[in-house]
Amino acid sequence: MGKEKVGFCVVGGLVLVLFLGSSVTSDDKRQRWGKAMISGETMASSMLFSRVPSSIVLPLHGNVYPNGYYNVTLNIGQPSKPYFLDVDTGSDLTWLQCDAPCVHCTEAPHPYYRPSNNLVACMDPICQSLHSNDDHRCENPGQCDYEVDYADGGSSLGVLVRDTFNLNFTNEKRQSPLLALGCGYDQLPGGSHHPIDGVLGLGKGKSSIVSQLSSLGLVRNVIGHCLSRRGGGFLFFGDDLYDPSRVAWTPMSPDVKHYSPGLAELTFDGKTTGFKKLLTTFDSGSSYTYLNSQAYQGLISLLKKELSGKPLREASDDQTLPLCWKGRKPFRSIRDVEKYFKTFALSFTNDRKSKTLLEFPPEAYLIISSKGNACLGILNGTEVGLNDLNVIGDISMQDRVVIYDNEKERIGWAPGNCNGLPKSKSFII
């Protein structure tokens, strides 16, 4: 899908394929790999930390265009080494490309991760959370096999290990908790591939790094990010960096695995469009926003109607995104074209029948391509296999603080100052 990146994943059972020739059975390969790792006992229960939650703030790097991703640097292992990880709220598991040895690995910014000898057992709750009950077989009880498949066609196979994550907290303490992560020894690149060390999974599951930190009492189970339109931004774990009274909240749907505010209605320029009950989710692993085919075609029709008679015409020679417009001269920024485009919105109904609006002004759905054209960053999700799911991607979350509060099961957003790290609650929103 090129830079039309989607971060959702499915985790399933795995047949380990490592070491040696094709004459060796998969069971033999599993046993030999496990022996090579020298299984260690779980140390999480012995890690004692202060039970006073603080927060963690991490700088982000990247942009929607031209990079097509945001990543974060984490220091992992003993001795600690830096790794660049794609930030993905659409998946749970954090994994690194792993020299265990590696069967298939892709280009990476740093040397491949050398795993600790602390394997996660098959019956560990974190391992169980990665598998549905009907496919969780413990052929090798001493290790947890995983497979992650992403919507862009990429995948990672490996085993779970525990290792230290070296983290700085806002209470000025530095701690190194032992957390589970994937040692990925077999990766297939997806259509949106770029050189990465791994993926930081920030979904709702037990294997999520924030869920693990929360279970240790180090942070509240709250995730937030602020993606700057200029590039960069920050990611945070914990709930003491913002004023919740200044955030627009809507309940998190309990029926959806991903971060979903439930069903939405599409409005355009403040008017109803007739497109209702749009199942919607937020995904920081998706560069662009996706609507199902009907809503997408409806939005395209409304935009083209508004542009009729305006000094813009379709730029069919620009393949940056499926739909681009050119003006009399190349555009240099969204400011040059925003007057020609209307704001649309998704309206979510809350428990008390009140509504929460997520607005999409032109800067939340347009990019300026390298050719100086305005291109639509809203794509047809049905065409890329999302069926009726509607995905709010990075382009529509820029210059907003977006908060996933797993403690109170709600999702919130507010205009944010994303161009520097937060210094106070008033700074962030």
Q: Active site includes 283? A: yes
d(CA 418, CA 400): 7
How many C-alpha atoms does 37 have within 13 Å on its Cβ side?
A: 33
Contact 275, 293 (CB under 8 A): no
Bridge partner list, 142: none
Which token pair is 343?
A: 């704001």
Which entry of 92, 145, 152, 283 is annotated as an active-site residue?
A: 283
Question: Alpha helix locations (H) across 244-340?
Answer: 293-307
Contact 170, 58 (CB under 8 A): no
Phi, psi of 169 (to 5 degrees): -105, 160
d(CA 277, CA 38): 51
* CA dist 410 → 76, 196, 261, 365, 413 (Å): 30, 31, 8, 24, 10
Contact 348, 358 (CB under 8 A): yes
Instruction: Sort 189 into a burial class: Cβ within 10 Å, 0-12 / 13-18 / 19+.
Output: middle
Q: Active site includes 92? A: no
Q: Which residues contact 397 (CB under 8 A, 6 or more apart)?
A: 225, 227, 282, 284, 413
Bridge partner list, 168: 174
Phi, psi of 88 (to 5 degrees): -135, 105
How far is Cα of residue 392 from the mean position of the Cα atoms in its chain? 11
* CA dist 334 → 331, 341, 375, 422 (Å): 8, 10, 10, 26
Residue type, 361: P
Contact 387, 296 (CB under 8 A): no
d(CA 212, CA 126): 9
Catalytic residue IDs: 88, 283
